[in-house]
Chain A
Amino acid sequence: MAREMTGAQMVVQALKDQGVDVVFGYPGGAVLPIYDEIFQQNDIRHILVRHEQAAVHMAEGYARSTGKVGVVIVTSGPGATNAVTGLTDALMDSIPVLVLSGQVPTFMIGSDGFQEADTVGITRPCTKENWLVRDTDQLAPTIHEAFHVATTGRPGPVLIDIPKDVQFATGLYQEREAHRSSYSRPTAPDPDAIEALVDLIEQAERPVFYTGGGIINSGPEASAALRDLVQATNFPVTSSLLGLGAYPASDRHWLGMLGMHGLYEANMAMHDCDLMINIGARFDDRITGRIDAFSPGSRKVHVDIDPSSINKVIHVDIGIIADAGLALKAIMAAWTRRGRRTKAEAVVAWWRQIDEWRAVNCLAYRQSTTTIKPQYALQRLEALTKDRDRYITTEVGQHQMWAAQFLHFEEPNRLMTSGGLGTMGYGFPSSIGVQIAHPDALVINIAGEASFLMNMQELGTVSQFHLPVKQFILNNERLGMVRQWQELLHGSRYSQSWSEALPDFVMLAETFGLKGIRCSDPAELDDAIMEMLDHPGGVVFDCLVERHENCFPMIPSGKPHNEMLLGDASTEGAIKADGAVMV
């Protein structure tokens, strides 16, 4: 039987019915009725943020590390506009997030009221779907629909704008079980296309799996299916940044990440393969480099749940619209039914070629006894944390790429990073969301000092909720990636790419009641990292590193995969003027 309640009560009830136990938010005039209801219950925990952008990134970290929907509550006007960066980030990386925004009362909409903004208009391009609810009776169905849309097909962020009078008014609550949605998307692969792919698998001499975040979004079973298929076929596997962890980095079939700062062996395998099987990745421009020189000799197969991803950038021979996990299982089933044939000898020869590329040791760097090299810092962090229940988030820049190169991910949902949008300021709040979801786990945000400054107000949130989250800042006092590009592309004119007037990060941590650690001596690094790990509370680790280290390998803009720059190679003149147009 339908229950009568206020709109604000419906919001809380619907969230409970959807299994939500935590929301990230910030109160304000247009959401006061909802906050009044939150005050009067204990089932849903509210994490008070310091800025709404951070609330969305926390929800993203929560969602990426659990597979559940991250929920955010913001007020109207600036509360909603501050959420836009997080929504766009979640849209680009296909993260299920629900933002509930307050709105001025329906009778004031359009009057330029105090803290009024056209929130559904502003967020339309950065949400998968959004709604303005004008009728309290429609509130519960809309919330149930929002959860359904956020998690069905290709996941993504959704927003519901709720005018204040709708929150106050009473209506009939619609139960979750009573909700019927018309939104569905096909997830099972077409059997004919799977057979065609198995034909190619059976005949491939130089195959490679190129995987992405779609496998992680599909759930742990998809990662398990990938492992089965890779090991059974003996095919090499590489992955985009967002796909790291779907395949264990410790396995011999793993080539490492591919792309602009991917491993030499991964990129060379992509360039020289005769069969590329893309599962749940989207041929991002960081991956492909120059399109017309991208893997010129290969047949390409693309499995994606989003039809618009297929043939968007790279024209493929077989497109399969399906959930990654279902597709992987279907491939395995069809290939097994046909006798599990591969050109095994050719694949062994292919592995010999790959081993030669591996011998290049592309991540080699010049060690120093006086300065901490950022790569070394991450190698030590990896060595000292790899056996723990560990989650990593990153900010955006050189440190992000080094983290992808030097930290090894054995399980899905263990790396949270802003891939598509490249949002500096993502990692710190994201690490908070991860820590909230996994209170006993070791959660480390790999940061640059410039990215960290972008959302450092959240130190207050860490302190308030006694979160043991660790901020590992590779501090080079530079916008490292910008500086690297200026060195390579803009004649070493370092326009605005240094961090002037930095705070003392140790004192900054202490002023929020957290622990600060500084280290600048490679000989003391291990002890300092252990001090961070042993501290039961939140830590800001200021790791002063080499200021002018460049991130290699690197595929310069406008170059194909087989023209990578390696660490010791001369970089002068490597990028032509037409390459400089790309970013």
Chain B
Amino acid sequence: MSALNIKQGSTSHSAYNLRASYTETSERHTLAVIVVNAPGVLARVIGLFAGRGYNIESLTVAEIDHAGHRSRITIVTSGTPQVIEQIKAQLGRIVAVHEVHDLTVEGRAVERELGLFKVEGTGEQRIESLRLAEIFRARVVDSTLNSFIYEMTGTPDKLDAFAELMRPLGLSNIARTGVAALLRGPGAASK
């Protein structure tokens, strides 16, 4: 129908902005949600994910503007494109949410996560873990005669890879922060 010869993305409120055909393939998206820093706001965001059955792969939250009472929640989630669109729309409905950004589609984002890895062992294993840590640019932040804690910053994949290598070398504990992410290049401060 000729009436539908509307160029894609011609309006900001139109469904034409959505990809033409939804697939059933699950996608991983990193969302940045700028919220009012007030009690209960995080609970409302998490409750939305729990109540509507959406996934949370990781979540970080911290105040980013003390004077403006703003916090940034970074959520890594997954779902079909339709579910991702719903998640963003549902987040946008929340009264205390100022902005929702999908860093996966808005541009290229830097994604970083910090992990602490406790590796216990002695002798050759201990030395091997130290060598690998150097390759991964992990720092030793605690050491005893039979353990190290390594600190490493990187993409979630890099942290996964490091954990995998450390496992046979005595990995006993991991603490990870979840992803923090910003769009590359100049742009709105909130992105």
A: residues with CB less than 8 A from B are 120-121, 124-125, 128-130, 132, 149, 154, 182-183, 186, 189-190, 192-193, 196, 199-200, 202-203, 299, 302, 306-308, 310-312, 315-322
Cβ contacts B30-56/A at 8 Å (1 or 0 each): 000000100110011001000100000
Within 8 A of A (CB), among B55-110: 82, 85-86, 89-90, 92-96, 98
Residues in A whose Cβ lies below 8 Å from that of B93: 154, 306-308
Whether A318 lies near B43 (C-beta < 8 A) is: no
Q: How far is the CB of A47 from chain B (nearest CB, A)?
A: 28
Instruction: A154 to B98: give the CA distance in the assembly, Å.
Output: 16
Residues in A whose Cβ lies below 8 Å from that of B94: 129
Instruction: A317 to B1: give the CA distance in the assembly, Å.
Output: 12
Cross-interface CB contact of A130 among B11, B15, B40, cutoff 8 Å: B40
Residues in B whose Cβ lies below 8 Å from that of A128: 95
Interface assignment of B144: CB less than 8 Å from any CB of chain A:
no
Please name 17 pairs of A and B residues whose Cβ atoms are closer than 8 Å in the assembled complex, sorted by A: A121-B40, A124-B43, A128-B95, A132-B40, A182-B98, A192-B6, A196-B4, A299-B4, A306-B93, A307-B89, A310-B15, A312-B86, A315-B15, A317-B4, A317-B15, A318-B14, A320-B13
Cross-interface CB contact of B40 among A120, A192, A196, A308, cutoff 8 Å: A120
Residues in A whose Cβ lies below 8 Å from that of B47: 124-125
Cross-interface CB contact of A319 among B2, B13, B44, B98, cutoff 8 Å: B13
Cross-interface CB contact of A199 among B3, B82, B89, cutoff 8 Å: B3
The 10 closest A-B pairs by CB, nearest first: A199-B3, A308-B89, A319-B15, A129-B95, A192-B11, A190-B13, A321-B13, A307-B89, A190-B11, A200-B3
Whether B82 lies near A320 (C-beta < 8 A) is: no
Whether B51 lies near A125 (C-beta < 8 A) is: yes
User: Residues of B within 8 Å of A, CB-based: how many?
Assistant: 32
Instruction: A315 to B39: give the CA distance in the assembly, Å.
Output: 36
Residues in B whose Cβ lies below 8 Å from that of A320: 13-14
Query: Contacts A129-B96, A149-B95, A308-B93 hold; do A193 and B4 have CB atoms under 8 A apart?
Result: no
Identity of the chain B residue whose Cβ is nearest the Cβ of A312 in the assembled complex = B86
Query: Contacts A125-B47, A196-B3, A199-B3 hold; do A308 and B14 have CB atoms under 8 A apart?
Result: no
Instruction: A199 to B36: give the CA distance in the assembly, Å.
Output: 41
Main secondary structure of the interface of A (DSSP, over half): mixed
Instruction: A120 to B51: give the CA distance in the assembly, Å.
Output: 16
Whether B4 lies near A319 (C-beta < 8 A) is: no
Interface assignment of B10: CB less than 8 Å from any CB of chain A:
yes
Residues in A whose Cβ lies below 8 Å from that of B44: 124
Interface assignment of B146: CB less than 8 Å from any CB of chain A:
no
Cross-interface CB contact of B22 among A132, A203, A315, cutoff 8 Å: A315
Residues in A whose Cβ lies below 8 Å from that of B22: 315
Residues in A whose Cβ lies below 8 Å from that of B15: 302, 310-311, 315-319
Q: How far is the CB of A121 from chain B (nearest CB, A)?
A: 7
Cross-interface CB contact of A121 among B14, B18, B43, cutoff 8 Å: B43
Whether A132 lies near B95 (C-beta < 8 A) is: no
Whether A311 lies near B14 (C-beta < 8 A) is: no
Cross-interface CB contact of B14 among A124, A192, A315, cutoff 8 Å: A192
Instruction: A350 to B136: give the CA distance in the assembly, Å.
Output: 70
Besides the contacts A129-B96, A312-B86, what 5 more A-B pairs have beta carbons closer than 8 Å?
A120-B40, A124-B40, A128-B95, A311-B15, A315-B15
Whether A311 lies near B4 (C-beta < 8 A) is: no
Whether B90 lies near A318 (C-beta < 8 A) is: no
Residues in B whose Cβ lies below 8 Å from that of A129: 94-96
Q: How far is the CB of B150 from chain A (nearest CB, A)?
A: 38
Q: How far is the CB of A540 from chain B (nearest CB, A)?
A: 39
Residues in A whose Cβ lies below 8 Å from that of B2: 199, 203
Q: How far is the CB of B78 from chain A (nearest CB, A)?
A: 18
Whether B3 lies near A203 (C-beta < 8 A) is: yes
Task: Among A125, A183, A203, A321, find the residue whose CB has the most chain B CB atoms closer than 10 A.
Answer: A125
Instruction: A125 to B48: give the CA distance in the assembly, Å.
Output: 8
Whether A192 lies near B18 (C-beta < 8 A) is: no
Query: Contacts A124-B40, A183-B95 hold; do A308 and B11 have CB atoms under 8 A apart?
Result: no
Q: How far is the CB of A510 from chain B (nearest CB, A)?
A: 46
Instruction: A370 to B51: give the CA distance in the assembly, Å.
Output: 51
Q: How far is the CB of B124 from chain A (nearest CB, A)?
A: 52
Whether A192 lies near B10 (C-beta < 8 A) is: yes
Cross-interface CB contact of B92 among A183, A193, A307, A316, cutoff 8 Å: A307
Whether A196 lies near B6 (C-beta < 8 A) is: yes
Residues in B whose Cβ lies below 8 Å from that of A182: 36, 98
Task: Among B11, B12, B22, find the residue whose CB has the most chain A CB atoms closer than 10 A.
Answer: B11
Query: Contacts A190-B12, A192-B10, A193-B11 hold; do A311 and B85 have CB atoms under 8 A apart?
Result: yes
Residues in A whose Cβ lies below 8 Å from that of B11: 190, 192-193, 196
Identity of the chain A residue whose Cβ is nearest the Cβ of B4 in the assembled complex = A317
Residues in B whose Cβ lies below 8 Å from that of A202: 3
Cross-interface CB contact of A311 among B18, B39, B40, cutoff 8 Å: B18
Residues in A whose Cβ lies below 8 Å from that of B96: 129
Q: How far is the CB of B70 from chain A (nearest CB, A)?
A: 11
Within 8 A of A (CB), among B1-27: 1-4, 6, 10-16, 18, 22
Whether A132 lies near B1 (C-beta < 8 A) is: no
